[in-house]
Structure 1
Amino acid sequence: MLRLGSSFFLFGLINNVLYVIILSAALDLVPPSTPKGIIAFCNIAPALVAKVGWPYILKGRIRYAKRLTGCCLLSAFGMLIVAFFDTLFMRLLGIGLASFSSGLGELTFLQLSTTYAPPSVAGHSVGYFSSGTGAAGLVGAFLWWEVRGLGVRVGVGLSSIMPFVIPLTYYVLLPQPTAFLASSAAYEDLPSANMPYTPLPTADDDMLGEEEGSSPAGPKHSVSLSARDKWRLVRPLLVRYMLPLCKPSPRSSFRRLLTPCPTVCVYLFEYTINQGIAPTLLYPVPSPNEHAFLSKIIRSVRDYYPLWQLVYQTTVFLSRSSISIGIPPLPARLLSLPAIIQAVILLLLTVESAVGLFPSDADEAWSITAVFLLISLEGICGGSAYVNVFYRINQEKPPHTTRDIERTRQEREFTIGSVGFADSTGILFASIFAVPMEVALCRQQVARGKLLCKGL
């Protein structure tokens, strides 16, 4: 289990760390006159395309070895383009390639987790992958802080080596699914009566899949899900995990109330806060005489935004690691709770930025502390939503259990992959909403005599 957890932690860390490095380096990658939001857009839109298109278009078994090797090479190539070309178009192209690879990689690792059984082992994989993606925020920001002095060419060029950890981990560290099936059937939830034991395919079998038009290797590889099969699988997930509304229940009028979905809404609220509101949460620099501790952390007005990001990334990492450290997952009925809390946080921080939650003559330490706590809670909700949603999907049984193990395998892989675009959709919408929100909040602050946002 240690090797399995370490492998999926590294998958999550390396797959997401380049995304964070690009965002951290945004100021150094584009000319001063270019809106920095274009970096965020190019860093998420291609990933969304990969998550939307790949599970629905391609058929047959996933060839994990070849796909992960391709993601590695594409990421490295994209980062090298960013490093060695100075024009804006080429750098955005490189960012787009790395983003597409990251989106496809996240989709692939979540699908890979479904090949492990029993369900407790599969859930273990998802928990550690989620923890790795949370750690990527801290590691990526720290790495760029350390290498930014070397310049874009050297700093980004060095980061292009990191994707090669993925195939190395896959081939050397990751245990085979059969290592956990010595005394059980391939899937615990399949009917076992009169059903012979059939081990899951090994890495060598993955090379024989049908994805991308390869020829089937035998009868058990001839299964592929049709468009109708995929719609049948994804339809119940739309109302539970992706769309803004949950389906009404005839058993209770209370459940007919509209509730936010745990993925799109969480990420929409979360990244609107991070990109549109957090840059305006500025206060006078604390005086060393009155606030000895705060004055050591905040030395200038420009320190506030990095501080909020550090608080956010730290709490996201902790909450995404919840399942891997043994905290029980949220009950299915509470999956909407993080989105509801995020909506309240969005409202409170908007009010704080626009008019202030505390009187104008109050000590700014109260406002700083309140924002610190709200952003901490924001990170906890965001990380909790991610890990719990994918954990629940990983543990769900196929809606129509069959005796065909290969078909069940593909249904599991498609199910967890089909909702992967929900978080990226929320981030993309947030990047669109954040720019006008930041401008409007800054204007509101200036109107009431608070000019800090104009001095950045």
Structure 2
Amino acid sequence: MVLAASSPPHVDNYEMQSTVSSSSLLRGPSDDDFFEGNDDAVHAKEHRSLMLRLGASFFLFGLINNVLYVIILSAALDLVPPSTPKGIIAFCNIAPALAAKVGWPYILKGRIRYAKRLMGCCVLSAFGMLVVAFFDSLFMRLLGIGIASFSSGLGELSFLQLSTTYAPPSVAGHSVGYFASGTGAAGLVGAFLWWEVRGLGVRVGVGLSSVMPFIIPLTYYALLPRPPAFLASSAAYEDRPSATAANMPYTPLATAEDDMVGEEEGSSPSGPKYNVSLSPSDKWRLVRPLLVRYMLPLFCVYLFEYTINQGIAPTLLYPVPSQEDHAFLSKIIHSVRDYYPLWQLVYQTTVFLSRSSISIGIPPIPARLLPLPAILQAGILLVLAVESAVGLFPADADEAWSIAAVFLLISLEGICGGSAYVNVFYRINQDPPSPHTVHDIERTRQEREFKIGSVGFADSSGILFAAVLAVPMEVALCRQQVSRGKFLCKGL
């Protein structure tokens, strides 16, 4: 579908009021007005039901697609021997996903077969988790993690591309907002699930999680409404010129004669429009404007964010609060090892809330301000690095001040990261089509899918670069703490 310029994601473009003409005011209400009003109420109710199903579907897509990634990270200590650096888990958990995001949009061409792709992701995820569960060797477990990671990266790419098949802009933005919310919820759900099942051991705990990917095809076939359903919802208003002109500024890409989200897998291409494919030069032409506008802000946000999480947060350690001086903190922190999980809980919670911002009705960030979260994130990284190395407060100050400052900064870190993610993908989803292809429906469809898919590697590459930077940063900060007589990082 060809979407128009950006519009707020929660403006219900289908719940339109009837146009009241001057003649109707003179003649008063008629039977036609009564039935027309009833029709409006019925169509509005149907549309709300469709939007609810669409939001629930994309929320589940984001949740299930990302939850295995979080489970693997949460289980890292249990998956490898004590002598093995835990960073290898993080690397194997992100590098294959990055390869999928970089390779798939640029290598493959033509129409996307959503049903087959999502079924493939489901099988790969389940297989990868089973390999992790039933093999004890380090190589096989890393292989299983890599398979599940590749599937997660390809799945995220596919769901973002799937969102572009919905119109008008409010519907497409609705799907992106709820998908981002689901990915944010995955951090909390994954950590909670592993906390609950880790007592069962790796074989049973990870093995049980291999069932979760099958929720994706069930959601796709049983819950997700097809794009033509929204087009049919709008058809009821086609006889009302004012509503049509004001609220339906798009060209539908999926019609009854076209496919219905992935239905092309079961049919052979017919007609010249199915032979359309983007050349490498076409793709480069589409990518160039996105590099600075979307990719660079997303890359920087995730580079700073994961450098904080992996390189600085493990060194943000303080003495265990005493019950006499800090009754509240002492109930949360019982040992020095509790600080890092606490920071991760704060981070995951604020990421979830900020990734849900559009789905709960908070207006999106203006396009010109998309670099703002990255700028703030750089400042947070600098301040937390200073706190870790030399301390923001005097040495004799109450440690509660430092703990509170770190709490607030990590909360802001999560808000910046989540906001950047959901707003970048929302904005690119709302970009209008190229004027050169607006009359070529199939080419416009493929361009929209490619553009949102091409941006996806920016966050993963930022995470990967952060993994490289984090190791020497953690070592350097720990040495600096030891040099000033603070040895807590050596006791972990």
- Counterpart for residue 129 of structure 1: 179
Residue 289 of structure 2 corresponds to residue 218 of structure 1: no
Q: 2:302 aligns with which of 262, 267, 279?
A: 267
Preserved CA contact (<8 Å) 1:208 1:216? no
Residue 291 of structure 2 corresponds to residue 238 of structure 1: yes
1:204–1:124 distance in 2 versus 1, CA, 3 Å: closer
Give the percent of matched residue pairs that are identical in Structure 1 and Structure 2.
84
Query: 2: CA distance between counterparts of 1:306 and 1:3?
Result: 35
Q: Residue 262 of structure 1: SS of its match in structure 2?
A: helix
| Structure 1 stretch displaced more, 405-414 or 321-330 | 405-414
- Counterpart for residue 206 of structure 1: 264
Residue 285 of structure 2 corresponds to residue 227 of structure 1: no
Query: 2: CA distance between counterparts of 1:28 and 1:165?
Result: 26
Superposed counterparts of 1:241-390, under 5 Å: 241-242=294-295, 261-390=296-425
- Counterpart for residue 39 of structure 1: 89
Residue 63 of structure 2 corresponds to residue 10 of structure 1: no
Q: Residue 439 of structure 2: SS of its match in structure 1?
A: coil
1:198–1:371 distance in 2 versus 1, CA, 3 Å: same
Preserved CA contact (<8 Å) 2:121 2:154? yes
What is the aligned length?
A: 431
- Counterpart for residue 443 of structure 2: 407
Query: 2: CA distance between counterparts of 1:399 and 1:370?
Result: 47
Q: Residue 263 of structure 1: SS of its match in structure 2?
A: helix
Query: 1: CA distance between counterparts of 2:257 and 2:182?
Result: 28
Query: 2: CA distance between counterparts of 1:348 and 1:443?
Result: 18
Preserved CA contact (<8 Å) 2:122 2:214? yes
Q: 1:429 aligns with which of 457, 460, 465?
A: 465
1:197–1:15 distance in 2 versus 1, CA, 3 Å: closer
Q: 1:160 aligns with which of 210, 213, 225?
A: 210
Preserved CA contact (<8 Å) 2:228 2:255? no
Q: Residue 394 of structure 2: SS of its match in structure 1?
A: coil
Superposed counterparts of 1:444-455, under 5 Å: 444-455=480-491
Residue 196 of structure 2 corresponds to residue 143 of structure 1: no
Deviation at 1:225, TM superposition (A): 1.0
Query: 1: CA distance between counterparts of 2:375 and 2:63?
Result: 28
Query: 2: CA distance between counterparts of 1:17 and 1:196?
Result: 31
Query: 2: CA distance between counterparts of 1:199 and 1:237?
Result: 32
Q: Residue 334 of structure 2: SS of its match in structure 1?
A: coil
Q: 1:52 aligns with which of 94, 102, 119?
A: 102
Query: 2: CA distance between counterparts of 1:44 and 1:197?
Result: 37
Deviation at 1:220, TM superposition (A): 2.5
Query: 2: CA distance between counterparts of 1:191 and 1:357?
Result: 56
Paired amino acid for 2:430: Q
Query: 1: CA distance between counterparts of 2:131 and 2:256?
Result: 45
Query: 2: CA distance between counterparts of 1:158 and 1:443?
Result: 41
Q: Residue 181 of structure 1: SS of its match in structure 2?
A: helix
1:204–1:295 distance in 2 versus 1, CA, 3 Å: closer
Q: Residue 117 of structure 1: SS of its match in structure 2?
A: coil
Query: 1: CA distance between counterparts of 2:265 and 2:471?
Result: 45
Query: 1: CA distance between counterparts of 2:433 and 2:460?
Result: 25
Q: Residue 207 of structure 1: SS of its match in structure 2?
A: helix
Paired amino acid for 2:318: Y
Preserved CA contact (<8 Å) 1:138 1:310? yes
Deviation at 1:206, TM superposition (A): 2.9
Query: 2: CA distance between counterparts of 1:197 and 1:206?
Result: 13
1:63–1:360 distance in 2 versus 1, CA, 3 Å: same
Preserved CA contact (<8 Å) 1:119 1:188? no
Q: Residue 167 of structure 2: SS of its match in structure 1?
A: coil
| 1:332-366 alpha-carbon deviations (Å, 9 max, x no partner) | 11100000000000000000000000000000000
Superposed counterparts of 1:173-212, under 5 Å: 173-182=223-232, 183=234, 201-203=259-261, 205-208=263-266
Query: 2: CA distance between counterparts of 1:196 and 1:280?
Result: 52
Paired amino acid for 1:289: E
- Counterpart for residue 393 of structure 1: 428
| 1:12-44 alpha-carbon deviations (Å, 9 max, x no partner) | 000000000000000000010000000000000
Deviation at 1:427, TM superposition (A): 0.1
Deviation at 1:188, TM superposition (A): 5.5
Q: Give unmatched runs, 5+ long, in structure 2.
A: 1-50, 239-246
Query: 2: CA distance between counterparts of 1:357 and 1:409?
Result: 52
Which structure has the larger Rg?
2
Preserved CA contact (<8 Å) 2:69 2:149? yes
Deviation at 1:282, TM superposition (A): 0.2
Deviation at 1:198, TM superposition (A): 7.0
- Counterpart for residue 104 of structure 1: 154
Deviation at 1:406, TM superposition (A): 1.2
Query: 2: CA distance between counterparts of 1:188 and 1:18?
Result: 39
The normalised TM-score by structure 1 is 0.92
Q: Residue 201 of structure 2: SS of its match in structure 1?
A: helix
| 1:167-215 alpha-carbon deviations (Å, 9 max, x no partner) | 0000000001111112369x955579xx997765214633158xxxxx6
Query: 1: CA distance between counterparts of 2:257 and 2:92?
Result: 41
1:199–1:351 distance in 2 versus 1, CA, 3 Å: farther
Paired amino acid for 2:476: A
Q: Residue 391 of structure 1: SS of its match in structure 2?
A: helix
Query: 2: CA distance between counterparts of 1:275 and 1:26?
Result: 13
Deviation at 1:149, TM superposition (A): 0.5
Provide the alpha-carbon RMSD of the alignment. 1.9
Deviation at 1:399, TM superposition (A): 2.4
